[in-house]
Amino acid sequence: MNEVIASFAKNSFEEVRISLTEFKGKELIDLRVYYQPDGEEEMRPTKKGITISSEKFPELKKGLLALEKVLQEKGE
């Protein structure tokens, strides 16, 4: 299984993909930078990114919500 859940442009040459993957029967969340080699249509993964157990999603979400709050406060 390798299901892309979301992606967004990092810059004009790279994108960030959020995917659900599986390794040795364990479901994982992968946040990875992809790039497009010259002359190729298909994007390729880089070593830049993280893979965590889907069990850690609540902690990741909590951290992202805390980050969102800080960014909102800075924008005031």
Token pair for residue 68?
A: 């969102």
- Domain count for the chain: 1
- Determine contact, residues 35/24, Cβ cutoff 8 Å: no
Residues 6+ apart with CB under 8 A from 18: 4, 5, 6, 7, 29, 30, 31
pLDDT in tens, 1-16: 789 999 999 998 999 9
Q: Give the CATH number for residue 52.
A: 2.30.31.10
Q: Domain of 52?
A: 2-75
Whole-structure pTM value = 0.85
- Condensed to tens digits (0 to 9), the pLDDT of residues 9-38 reads 999 899 999 999 999 999 999 999 999 998
